[in-house]
């Protein structure tokens, strides 16, 4: 997406990573504790009259006790660190607001970067044998976009996505101005916060005209193997895989024993460099550092991981010291780095859990669409979001692999409703385990939705309706938010309603997205328009045939692209007659899937099995769908009269 940006000189770290395992430093907080600093140390003369206590606000020491921070950097460099992290873990306006120091954030970050640079310059002057790097540390914030602190209001958030993104943007700008070589977004317990950070980083690089290498690191919080906000390791990786990262890794919360299976998994699924900096075990108040792992016990464990080919960058987090890092550097110094695997292109999404399209036909639950479900519409318009969540839950329990959420209704603030519903879903792991398709005809609603999902979802949809420039702008933003995209077969001349127009529009959109925008083809999903048949109009008779032919053409001519559609549209002429409609859906899907249809928006749990459709009904339905005889519609209408539902069930 941003291949036009120049790369900073610090990208020479790639050469080093291809030759050896690089050593990251250890804990900053653990080292600061050893100085036994008091309130006056944090305040210095500059903040002596500050209204809020500043003890344990480690970042302010960059201004009040810079010599201590520089000394810690020097100790880690002398221990063998190739990369040192700035003392800026909480140096954002949001985190510093707790101390009343938000106006000093830019100064803190610049100063922190300079201290790192000075320490490296000092060490390099004595030993220029290899280059060392300063990584700007970007922490997770003390506010989360995915969790409410109010148990009585699970949809409430203390911060907005825009506030988080802007806070990170200010920090990133100051770190880059201060002279960091890399950026390290670390200790991620909420992937949505990290996505906002990565968005801010890309936005800033775009403004600068060049980019720095970016590292990202998540935190598995306990034995469940998930982040605090519920994501698995694979879901975490998929959620951020859109970003042009140097490395991905895991750090903090766990020691090496507990972290081992998750690093192994990440090493096999991520086609970029892998970093790991565990804690020195789980907290132990009886240990000198508060953690049990000694240098002698930690280093051999991480050495084994290196021997197994899992590591490119390794260091320590809470409880580790320069002695730990020296032991670690010595342990892996002669071991080859992990070889970055070449993995096949995959279409994959994530909620709390990962979902790969290669597992079979993908069912997208349609009942959380206000325009298509009277029941869902009534619940949302009445403000009954608990009831609306029940509809989403039914779709997932009925077998939906993803759920389509649409709030486009004239009587509703669609943007606010989308945000509220997505935030409520985030508190329901039995629903949020599946990825989300954000569905709207309005870009503002789509964007608001993208700012609420920590996983990798799908935007439904964009098109060439308003011309190429707007199409490209929206596609770039979808990509920056980390989502896949549905592209409707619609252009400046209108909707494609025959095979030739479907080919023309889909081919043009694919070329623009892959060649001009840099959108990965495996994240492009075409919707070539499932249109209603059996309307009585002859020009509509070939709609299903043309759609199926378009699916086959896309799969043969647009490599890696996927195809989807709203299946219930096909049978709209028979609304109120569920027997005929469900038979039409099953038969249509049978032929479309054989042609290559990857996914469909359908009512999960209410899909008839093709082989179980009565033969006489199947013949009549396929006559209509495949346009096999001129009187097909008339014959199906006649037959349908006997199957009219005795009572209409609201769904």
Compute the distance between CA of residue 632 and CA of residue 609 in angstroms, rounded to an integer. Answer: 22
| 76: confidence class by pLDDT, cuts 50, 70, 90 | very high
Flag whether pLDDT at 29 surpasses 90. Answer: yes
| Mean pLDDT of the 314-331 span | 98
CA 494 centroid distance within chain: 32
Q: Domain spanning 345-456: which superfamily?
A: Dihydropteroate synthase-like (3.20.20.20)
Is the per-residue pLDDT at 252 higher than 60? yes
pLDDT tens, 505-534?
Answer: 999 999 999 999 999 999 999 999 999 999
Task: Compute the average pLDDT of residues 350-377.
Answer: 94
Which tokens sit at 138? 């970007």
For CA atoms 572, 578, 579, 584, give the dihedral sign: positive
**CA 3 to each of CA 205, 480, 518: distance values in angstroms, whole numbers, following the listed order:** 11, 13, 8
Q: Is the pLDDT of residue 646 over 90?
A: no
Class of domain 6-332: alpha beta
What's the mean per-residue pLDDT of the chain? 96
Whether 240 shows a pLDDT value over 90: the answer reads: yes
pLDDT at 219 over 70: yes
pLDDT digits (tens, 9 = 90+) for 176-192: 999 999 999 999 999 99
Q: What is the pLDDT of residue 643?
A: 66
pLDDT at position 605? 79
Region at 319 (left for phi over 0; alpha for psi -120 to 50; beta for the rest): left
State the Cα–Cα distance between residues 328 and 235, nearest whole angstrom.
Answer: 30
Average pLDDT for 376-390: 98
- CA–CA distance, 507 with 136 (Å, rounded to integer): 42
Nearest C-alpha neighbor of 229 from the set 349, 146, 351, 140? 146
Backbone CA torsion sign across 74, 75, 78, 84 = negative
Mean pLDDT value across residues 468-477: 98
Rounded Cα distance, 191 and 392, in Å: 22
Percentage of residues in the chain having pLDDT higher than 70? 98
Q: Which strand (E) or helix (H) includes residue 443?
A: helix 443-450
Token pair 């790097």 in the structure block, residue: 133
pLDDT at 1 over 90: no
Decide if pLDDT at 164 tops 50: yes
Q: What is the pLDDT of residues 555-565, one digit of tens each?
A: 999 999 999 99
Q: In the predicted model, is pLDDT for residue 385 greater than 80? A: yes
Calculate the alpha carbon distances from 479 to 10, 139, 244, 507 in Å.
25, 23, 11, 20
Question: How far, in Å, CA of 193 to CA of 198, rounded?
Answer: 9
Spatial separation of the C-alpha atoms in residues 62 and 107, rounded to whole Å: 9
Owner of token pair 């409410």: 148
Evaluate whether 116 touches 73 at the Cβ level (below 8 Å): yes
Q: Is pLDDT of 7 > 90?
A: yes
- Domain spans in the chain, listed from the N-terminal domain onward: 6-332, 345-456
Sort 125 into a burial class: Cβ within 10 Å, 0-12 / 13-18 / 19+: exposed
Strands in 189-341 per DSSP E = 210-211, 214-218, 247-251, 273-277, 313-314
Would you say the CATH fold of 345-456 matches that of 6-332?
yes
- Where do runs of H (alpha helix) occur along 241-364? 256-269, 295-307, 322-332
pLDDT at 3: 59
Mean per-residue pLDDT for 346-368?
94
CB 280 within 8 A of CB 253: no
For residue 649, name the pLDDT band (cuts at 50, 70, 90): very low
> Element (H or E) spanning 425, and its range?
helix 414-426
| pLDDT over 50 at 573, yes or no | yes
Reply yes or no on whether the pLDDT at 217 is more than 80.
yes
Look at residue 464 and tell me whether its pLDDT is greater than 80.
yes
Q: Taking residues 113-124, what's their average pLDDT? A: 99
Whether the predicted pLDDT of 115 surpasses 80? yes
Residue 642: pLDDT band with limits 50, 70, 90: confident
Q: Strand runs (DSSP E) across 24-176, as ranges?
A: 83-85, 133-138
Pairing between strand 490-491 and 562-563?
unpaired
Burial class (CB in 10 A: 0-12, 13-18, 19+), 36: exposed
């Amino acid at each position: 997406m941003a291949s036009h940006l120049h790369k900073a000189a610090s990208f020479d770290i790639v050469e080093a990573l291809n030759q050896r395992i690089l050593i990251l430093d250890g804990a900053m907080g653990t080292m600061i504790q050893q100085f036994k600093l008091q309130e006056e140390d944090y305040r210095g003369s500059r903040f002596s009259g500050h209204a809020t206590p500043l003890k344990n606000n480690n970042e302010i020491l960059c201004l009040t006790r810079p010599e201590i921070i520089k000394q810690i950097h020097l100790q880690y460099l002398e221990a063998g660190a190739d990369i040192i992290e700035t003392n800026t873990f909480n140096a954002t306006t949001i985190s510093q607001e707790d101390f009343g120091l938000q106006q000093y954030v830019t100064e803190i970050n610049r100063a922190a970067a300079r201290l790192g640079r000075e320490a490296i310059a000092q060490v390099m002057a004595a030993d220029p044998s290899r280059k060392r790097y300063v990584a700007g540390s970007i922490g997770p914030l003390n506010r989360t976009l995915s969790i409410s602190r109010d148990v009585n209001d699970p949809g409430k958030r203390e911060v907005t996505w825009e506030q988080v993104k802007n806070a990170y943007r200010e920090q990133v700008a100051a770190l880059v101005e201060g002279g960091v070589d890399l950026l390290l977004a670390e200790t991620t317990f909420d992937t949505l916060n990290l996505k906002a950070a990565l968005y801010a980083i890309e936005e800033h690089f775009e403004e600068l005209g060049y980019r720095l290498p970016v590292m990202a690191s998540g935190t598995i919080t306990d034995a469940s193997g998930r982040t605090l906000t519920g994501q698995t390791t694979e879901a975490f990786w998929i959620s951020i895989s859109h970003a042009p990262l140097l490395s991905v890794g895991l750090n903090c919360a766990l020691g090496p024993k507990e972290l081992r299976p998750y690093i192994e998994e990440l090493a096999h699924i991520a086609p970029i460099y892998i970093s790991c900096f565990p804690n020195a075990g789980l907290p132990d108040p009886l240990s000198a550092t508060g953690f049990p792992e000694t240098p002698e016990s930690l280093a051999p464990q991480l050495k084994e991981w290196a021997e197994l080919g899992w590591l490119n960058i390794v260091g320590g987090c809470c409880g580790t010291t320069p002695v730990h890092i020296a032991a670690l550097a010595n342990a892996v110094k002669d071991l080859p780095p992990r070889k970055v695997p070449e993995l096949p292109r995959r279409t994959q999404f994530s909620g709390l859990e990962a979902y790969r399209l290669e597992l079979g036909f993908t069912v997208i639950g349609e009942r959380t669409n206000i325009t298509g479900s009277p029941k869902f519409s009534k619940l949302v318009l009445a403000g009954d979001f608990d009831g609306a969540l029940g509809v989403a839950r039914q779709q997932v329990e009925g077998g939906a692999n993803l759920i389509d959420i649409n709030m486009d209704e004239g009587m509703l603030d669609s943007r606010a409703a989308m945000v509220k519903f997505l935030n409520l879903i985030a508190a329901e792991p039995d629903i949020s385990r599946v990825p989300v398709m954000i569905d709207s005809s309005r870009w503002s609603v789509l964007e608001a939705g993208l700012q609420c999902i920590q996983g990798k979802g799908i935007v439904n949809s964009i098109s060439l309706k308003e011309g190429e420039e707007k199409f490209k702008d929206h596609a770039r933003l979808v990509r920056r938010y980390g989502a896949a995209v549905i592209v409707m077969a619609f252009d400046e001349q209108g909707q494609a309603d025959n095979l030739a127009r479907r080919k023309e529009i889909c081919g043009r959109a694919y070329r623009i997205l892959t060649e001009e925008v840099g959108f990965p083809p495996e994240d492009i999903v075409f919707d070539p328009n499932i249109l209603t048949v059996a309307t009585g109009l002859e020009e509509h008779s070939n709609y299903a045939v043309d759609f199926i032919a378009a699916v086959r053409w896309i799969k043969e001519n647009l490599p890696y692209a996927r195809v989807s559609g709203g299946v219930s549209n096909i049978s709209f002429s028979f609304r109120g007659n569920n027997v005929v409609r469900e038979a039409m859906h099953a038969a249509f899907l049978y032929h479309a899937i054989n042609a290559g249809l990857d996914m469909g928006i359908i009512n999960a749990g209410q899909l008839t099995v093709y082989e179980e459709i009565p033969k006489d009904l199947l013949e009549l339905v396929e006559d209509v769908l495949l346009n096999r005889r001129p009187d097909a519609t008339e014959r199906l209408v006649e037959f349908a009269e006997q199957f009219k539902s005795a009572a209409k069930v609201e769904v």
